[in-house]
Amino acid sequence: MVNGEVISSIRHADHKAVVFSSRRVLQILMDELNTVRQIYGMKINVKKTKVMCIRRKRTNKIKITTDGVRVEQVDCCRYLCSTISADGYCEKEIRSRNEMVNKLFQGKKKLFTSKLNLEYKKRIN
């Protein structure tokens, strides 16, 4: 919810993320998207389309199809530089961000540990 309103669709450039509480409603949306896109001469790329069921228990296998082809179900994905996992936890996201920070720090380690003037170090960063 954002400002009291349920957000079920996020779009960025040619990417789209949709969130629904039931498999049936998601399948209806996929069918409608496919129909609308065919009118405009477009087609959903099934190889790039993924589906994920976010739950604490990882027992759910869902079957979503588009144009008669089953969409791949994944346990995690990257969307707009963030990792989303099917179990709802963000441990992988935290680890990946820590790794990025460590790489950046290691690249500037010599600068931080050198005997250069503090004001000069600030200007370099």
pTM higher than the cut 0.85: no
The pair of three-digit structure tokens given for residue 10, joined into one six-digit string: 């996020």
The pair of three-digit structure tokens given for residue 48, joined into one six-digit string: 């790039």
Report the 10 Å Cβ neighbour count for 110.
9
Question: Looking at residue 68, what is its pLDDT?
Answer: 86
Question: Looking at residue 14, what is its pLDDT?
Answer: 67
Per-residue pLDDT of the chain (125 residues; tens, 9 = 90+): 667 876 666 666 666 777 787 889 888 888 888 787 777 787 778 888 888 887 777 667 888 888 889 989 888 887 777 778 887 777 877 888 888 888 888 877 777 777 777 777 777 66
Question: Looking at residue 70, what is its pLDDT?
Answer: 92
d(Cα 65, Cα 45) in Å, to the nearest integer? 12
Looking at 13-64, which runs of residues are DSSP E strands?
Answer: 15-18, 50-51
Beta bridge partners of 9: 18
Question: Looking at residue 58, what is its pLDDT?
Answer: 65
The pair of three-digit structure tokens given for residue 31, joined into one six-digit string: 């069918």
d(Cα 17, Cα 8) in Å, to the nearest integer? 8
